[in-house]
């Protein structure tokens, strides 16, 4: 595709697809050019370099999160829905989490997201540093949950590529857990549970518990600036 017919949104869309499929390490200008039917040189007319492309893709995916109005839904429901949508976005674009450690990924869409989250917790009654901590507590939980799920998916891919190494490791872990009664009981109880459904149930439990704590904090604390 000639550079005159390429657009930056087309390039970012294609790059996001490659990142979703192959991760950060799988993104190259050559591969992106092949996906677009264009030479890498044509892409450089629209983006500065590979790092710039990753930043643009990150900004694109942060914009996928809908903003729920606390005035319409109440702050608690709005906070829970934003947290759930954040997790779903991170689970869909698992490359975004490791990208945080190697790139400065702050753009318009993330700023929009953070500003909205502050409005949700302001509607609850948080002010000053408590406002920061309320937002950060929920966000850190969601990010940590998504990070754990991404690591598990990565292990599954690695295990499949190493002729059952993951299966062997899991078998050894199960054998070790059998020595401890509480671990053994929990493993037995979880064997017939759908792991994907359990992920969302665990996420919902964690978010609800945190929001319970935030409500309790508001109820017992005087307003602080």
- Assign domain 8-61 to its CATH architecture: Orthogonal Bundle (1.10)
Inter-CA distances, 32 with 23, 50, 61, 72, Å? 13, 10, 18, 42
Asked whether the beta carbons of 68 and 23 are under 8 A apart, the reply is: no
Tell me where in the chain the CATH 1.10.357.10 domain(s) lie: 66-220
DSSP-derived secondary structure letter, 26: G
Asked whether the beta carbons of 56 and 108 are under 8 A apart, the reply is: no
Range among 152-161, 171-180, 209-218 rated most confident: 209-218
Which pTM does this prediction carry?
A: 0.83
* 91-114: average pLDDT: 92
- CA 178, distance to chain mean position in Å, is 33
Rounded Cα–Cα distance for residues 221 and 225 (Å): 12
Rounded Cα–Cα distance for residues 83 and 104 (Å): 22
Inter-CA distances, 21 with 25, 103, 160, 163, 195, Å? 11, 19, 16, 21, 22
Tell me where in the chain the CATH 1.10.10.60 domain(s) lie: 8-61
Residue owning tokens 């370099």: 49
92 — pLDDT class (breaks 50, 70, 90): very high
Rounded Cα–Cα distance for residues 193 and 18 (Å): 32
Residue owning tokens 């792991």: 195
Q: How many Cβ atoms are within 10 Å of 124's Cβ, its own excluded?
A: 20
Tokens of 173: 């872990």
Please identify, in words, the CATH class of the domain defined by 66-220: mainly alpha
21 pLDDT more than 80: yes
Angle at CA 22, nearest 5°, toward 37 and 163? 130
182-219 pLDDT, tens digit each: 888 888 888 877 777 778 889 999 999 999 999 999 99
């Amino acid at each position: 595709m000639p550079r005159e017919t390429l657009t930056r949104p087309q390039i970012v869309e294609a790059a996001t697809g490659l990142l979703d499929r192959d991760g950060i390490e799988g993104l190259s200008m050559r591969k992106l050019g092949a996906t677009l039917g264009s030479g890498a040189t044509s892409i450089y007319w629209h983006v500065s370099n590979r790092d710039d492309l990753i930043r643009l893709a990150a900004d694109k995916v942060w914009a996928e999160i809908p903003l729920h109005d606390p005035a319409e839904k109440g702050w608690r429901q709005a906070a829970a829905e934003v947290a759930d949508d954040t997790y779903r976005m991170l689970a869909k674009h698992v490359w975004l989490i490791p990208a945080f450690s190697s790139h400065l990924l702050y753009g318009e869409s993330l700023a929009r997201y953070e500003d909205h989250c502050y409005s949700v917790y302001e509607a609850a009654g948080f002010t000053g540093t408590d406002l920061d901590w309320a937002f950060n507590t929920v966000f850190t939980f969601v990010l940590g949950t998504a990070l754990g799920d991404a690591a598990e998916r990565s292990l599954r891919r690695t295990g499949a590529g190493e002729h059952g190494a993951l299966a062997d490791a899991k078998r050894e872990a199960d054998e070790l857990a059998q020595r401890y009664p509480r671990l053994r009981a929990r493993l037995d109880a979880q064997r017939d549970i759908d792991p994907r459904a359990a992920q969302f149930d665990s996420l919902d439990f964690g978010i609800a518990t945190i929001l319970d704590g935030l409500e309790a904090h508001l109820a017992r604390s005087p307003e602080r600036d």
